[in-house]
Amino acid sequence: GKPVCECNACYGGPDCSQLLPNCVADADSGDPLFLEPFWMKNSGRSTVVIPGWHRMSYDYSDNSYISQELEKNIRRLHAITKNAVTDGRYIVFGAGSTQLLNAAVYALSMNMSSPVKVVAEKPFYPVYREQTEFFKAKQFEFHGDASLLRNGTSNTVENVIEFVASPNNPDGNLKKAVLEGPSVKTIHDYAYYWPHYTAIPAPADEDLMIFTMSKLTGHAGSRFGWALVKDKQVYENMIQYIQIAEMGTSKDTQLRALQILKAIHGQKIFHFAYKTMIDKWEKLSEIVSRSNRFTIQEIPPLFCNFFEEVRGPSPAYAWLKCEREEDSNCSAVLRAAKIIGREGSLFESDDRYVRLSLLRSQDDFDLLLRRLNDLISKEKGAQ
Ligand code: PMP
């Protein structure tokens, strides 16, 4: 019979080569599907099969065989990537790092004088505010931009928990905490502190560090994250949070995480991910550099201890700015050109900025380039 052509949603014609004129470039969510082709090539070693009678127990103890193996593999992973110190740290598992962010706020605030102010320097990942406000408790409240708490030239404040995402979502910059003091605690969100997205200048050595499989291997749907915690009391508080919220982390998820982490010890994934991301960044930079209307963030080249060389930027997101006075609603400018990003105000920044996700599939990215190229080519004076 006739071959059936199943075109990608944006293409038509007999051989699926015609771009449909109304098709919109989706650069909105941070769904990490750019890693899907890697797992298609490495599907054998990463496959998990679980018979119906397996792993049925609640198995409350953290000492189950899978959990111990998983811990060992996580410590090995950090040793290989040189991105975090695991010596003298306890490990807490969570349903994605999302669950651990709030577990950490709870755990830290339980040992502080209330009410604790929870802050992050803007622009910041919107979930810090959303979650802290949604789960608000007597002992803490969300207090917005960390820089507003700075007292003149001093960074010293009291009873504060600061979220620090490094590299930052949305702008990809490596960051340090902006506040300090004896009663200031920091939650370091290292979702993007992998060689895919940034140079690794030194292993992170903070008191509370949170990582996620979502941006490491791309398995966002498995909902697996972990925290490295120095203080025993904080660790116990976090474990208590996880026990009360969900009686421990799914053993099915742990089993899949273990299989996937074992499959990446060959380190090929880091080369694949870095190459994919730097290629995207270079292509995007080239197009934006021809424009007088738009700019993207600058990230300086840095020595990377994983690749053992100086390397350029390969961030997860472009933080695009509309430079013209009249383009104060940058996402509307892009939307008119059939590009969907996330507006700056969501990150408590200006709507002159839009976050464009580079984590999605190659098709999404190619369409983004094409739409951006069309938009910039129309500019007067563009090179
Ligand atoms: N932290 C940051 C900075 C993120 O961008 C994300 C995901 N977009 C997360 C945490 C949460 O990821 P997950 O819950 O999938 O681990």
Chunk the chain into consecutive blocks of 10 residues (it has 383) and report each block's average pLDDT, rounded to whole numbers.
65 83 93 97 91 84 81 97 98 97 97 94 98 95 93 78 98 96 95 98 98 98 98 97 92 95 91 98 98 97 97 98 97 98 98 98 96 93 71
Residues 6+ apart with CB under 8 A from 377: none
In this structure, the answer to whether residues 314 and 234 fall within a common structural domain is no
Atom of ligand 1 nearest to the CA of 168: 3
What is the pLDDT, as a whole number, of residue 325? 96
Domain range for 338: 11-40+268-377
In this structure, the answer to whether residues 244 and 304 fall within a common structural domain is no
Contacts 24+ apart (CB under 8 A), 193-196: 193/83, 193/84, 193/166, 193/167, 194/81, 194/83, 194/270, 194/273, 195/81, 195/83, 195/270, 195/273, 195/274, 195/304, 195/306, 195/307, 196/270, 196/273, 196/274, 196/277, 196/314, 196/316
Residues with CB under 6 A from ligand 1: 30, 96-98, 125, 165, 169, 189, 191, 212, 214, 220, 225
Smallest CA separation from ligand 1 atom 5, residue:
169
- Alpha-carbon distances of 61 from 57, 239, 254, rounded to whole Å: 11, 11, 14
What is the pairing mode between strands 224-229 and 90-95?
Answer: antiparallel
**Residue 47 belongs to some domain of the structure:** no
Ligand 1 mean position to 108 CA, how many Å? 20
What is the pLDDT, as a whole number, of residue 235? 97
Q: What's the CATH number where 255 sits?
A: 3.40.640.10
Ligand 1 mean position to 287 CA, how many Å? 28
What is the pLDDT, as a whole number, of residue 4? 58
Q: Which of 263, 278, 293 is the last residue of a domain?
A: 263
What is the pLDDT, as a whole number, of residue 62? 59
In this structure, the answer to whether residues 300 and 237 fall within a common structural domain is no
**Residue 46 belongs to some domain of the structure:** no
In this structure, the answer to whether residues 98 and 219 fall within a common structural domain is yes
Atom of ligand 1 nearest to the CA of 224: 16
* ipTM of the complex, rounded to two decimals: 0.99
**Residue 5 belongs to some domain of the structure:** no
**Residue 67 belongs to some domain of the structure:** yes
In this structure, the answer to whether residues 225 and 143 fall within a common structural domain is yes
Judge contact between 188 and 208, C-beta under 8 A. yes
Q: What's the CATH number where 287 sits?
A: 3.90.1150.10
Rounded to whole angstroms, the Cα distance separating 226 from 213 reads 8
Q: Which of 263, 278, 305 is the last residue of a domain?
A: 263
In this structure, the answer to whether residues 192 and 287 fall within a common structural domain is no
What is the pLDDT, as a whole number, of residue 201? 98
Smallest CA separation from ligand 1 atom 6, residue:
191
Specify the number of domains making up the chain: 2
In this structure, the answer to whether residues 257 and 275 fall within a common structural domain is no
What is the pLDDT, as a whole number, of residue 9? 75
Ligand 1 mean position to 101 CA, how many Å? 9
pTM of the model: 0.95
